[in-house]
Amino acid sequence: MAKKATAALKKAKQKTISIETGRIYVSTTFNNTIVTVTNEKGDTVAWSSSGNMGFKGTRKSTPFAATSAVEEAIKKVRDTGIRAVEVFIKGPGVGRDAALRAIRNSGLSIAMIADITPIPHNGPRMKKKRRV
The count of domains in the chain is: 1
**CB neighbours of 50 closer than 8 A, spacing ≥ 6?**
32, 33, 34, 59, 60, 61, 62, 65, 66, 68, 69, 95
| Domain contains 11 | no
Which CATH number characterizes residue 49's domain? Answer: 3.30.420.80
Q: Which domain holds residue 55?
A: 18-37+45-115
- Per-residue pLDDT averaged across 13-19, rounded? 59
pLDDT at 11: 58
pLDDT digits (tens, 9 = 90+) for 105-119: 999 999 999 999 999
User: Does pLDDT of 4 surpass 80?
Assistant: no
- Per-residue pLDDT averaged across 31-52, rounded? 96
| Domain contains 125 | no
Q: Using 50, 70 and 90 to split pLDDT, how confident is the model at 123?
A: confident
pTM: predicted TM-score of the whole model, two decimal places: 0.80
| Domain contains 128 | no
**Share above pLDDT 70 across residues of the chain, in percent, rounded to a whole number:** 86
